[in-house]
């Protein structure tokens, strides 16, 4: 997605530890026009796929899942990282090891928002080691729902998440794939022609 690549080149910063900082338009401040373009692109890619619901993980996946949900006209569910007192006790739980925070946390989705047989599109902002998506896939499995595809805004192709998911037979579509951070410069993987 050219628009997204240009924005990453313009405003993204490479930090130590293979982290791309994009908090001026994705992770802290959000650019709504770009977010809707991202949602539209996910819809274009997955429009012929059978999907009943979009599932993401708080916090940064929500904006993009919501924009995709708008174009699909489908509900969006986000897994919560902290179960509040207003959350139902009947929840599916998954464990996620956070790449950026280097800690393990639990994600939860109330039983009432996922049903057996539902076909899910999973969406997240980044794919690194694949742990966030694996946590969502675990929850989908507990709910006896199926994963029709995974949509990622920024894939870091040099980290193992994409191989992990493809080896499981998951359809993975990333809007941009980063090949490497060479001397803190962002190198994108070119799509095969
Ligand atoms: P994974 O679970 O695939 O290892 O990592 C994905 C999650 O970690 C995403 O939900 C995202 O929030 C965070 N993440 C991973 N790599 C980066 C990165 O380079 N930059 C930012 N901003 N977040 C990242």
**Mean pLDDT along residues 100-108:** 92
pLDDT(16) > 90: yes
Q: CA–CA separation, 77 vs 112, rounded Å?
A: 11
Q: What is the overall mean pLDDT for the chain?
A: 95
The structure tokens listed for 55 are 């599932």
Ligand 1: nearest atom to the Cα of 131: 2
Predicted local confidence at residue 125, as pLDDT: 98
pLDDT tens, 49-71? 999 999 999 999 999 999 999 99
pLDDT(128) > 90: yes
Predicted local confidence at residue 83, as pLDDT: 67
Predicted local confidence at residue 169, as pLDDT: 97
Predicted local confidence at residue 122, as pLDDT: 98
Predicted local confidence at residue 190, as pLDDT: 86
Q: Does 142 contact ligand 1 (Cβ within 6 A)? A: no
Mutation to probe ligand 1, out of 25, 125, 168 (largest number of atoms < 8 A from CB): 125
Q: Whose CA is nearest to atom 11 of ligand 1?
A: 126
pLDDT(193) > 60: no
Mutation to probe ligand 1, out of 12, 126, 156, 181 (largest number of atoms < 8 A from CB): 126
Q: Does 127 contact ligand 1 (Cβ within 6 A)? A: yes
| Helix extents (H) in 12-117 | 32-46, 61-72
pLDDT tens, 144-156? 999 999 999 999 9
Confidence (pTM): 0.96
Q: CA–CA separation, 35 vs 66, rounded Å?
A: 9
Q: Does 59 contact ligand 1 (Cβ within 6 A)? A: no
CA atoms within 13 A on the CB side of 59: 7
Predicted local confidence at residue 82, as pLDDT: 81
Rounded to the nearest angstrom, the distance between the alpha carbon of 131 and the centre of ligand 1 is 9
Q: In terms of pLDDT, which residue wins out, 192 or 160?
A: 160
Mutation to probe ligand 1, out of 60, 100, 156 (largest number of atoms < 8 A from CB): 100
Is omega for the bond preceding 163 within 30 degrees of 0, making it cis? no
């Amino acid at each position: 997605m050219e628009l997204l690549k240009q924005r990453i080149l313009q405003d993204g910063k490479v930090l130590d530890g293979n982290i791309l900082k994009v908090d001026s338009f994705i992770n802290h401040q959000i650019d709504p026009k770009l977010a809707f373009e991202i949602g539209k692109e996910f819809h274009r890619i997955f429009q012929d796929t059978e999907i009943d619901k979009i599932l993401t993980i708080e916090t940064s996946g929500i904006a993009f899942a919501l924009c995709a949900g708008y174009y699909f006209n489908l509900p969006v569910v986000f897994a919560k990282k902290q179960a509040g007192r207003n959350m139902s006790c009947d929840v599916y739980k998954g464990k996620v090891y956070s790449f950026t925070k280097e800690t393990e946390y639990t994600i939860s989705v109330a039983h009432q928002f996922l049903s057996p047989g539902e076909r899910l599109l999973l969406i997240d902002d980044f794919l690194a080691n694949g742990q966030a998506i694996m946590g969502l896939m675990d929850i989908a499995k507990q709910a006896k729902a199926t994963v029709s595809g995974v949509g990622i805004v920024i894939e870091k192709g040099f980290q193992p998440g994409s191989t992990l998911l493809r080896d499981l037979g998951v359809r993975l579509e990333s809007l941009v794939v980063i090949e490497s951070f060479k001397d803190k410069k962002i190198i994108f993987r070119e799509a095969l022609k």
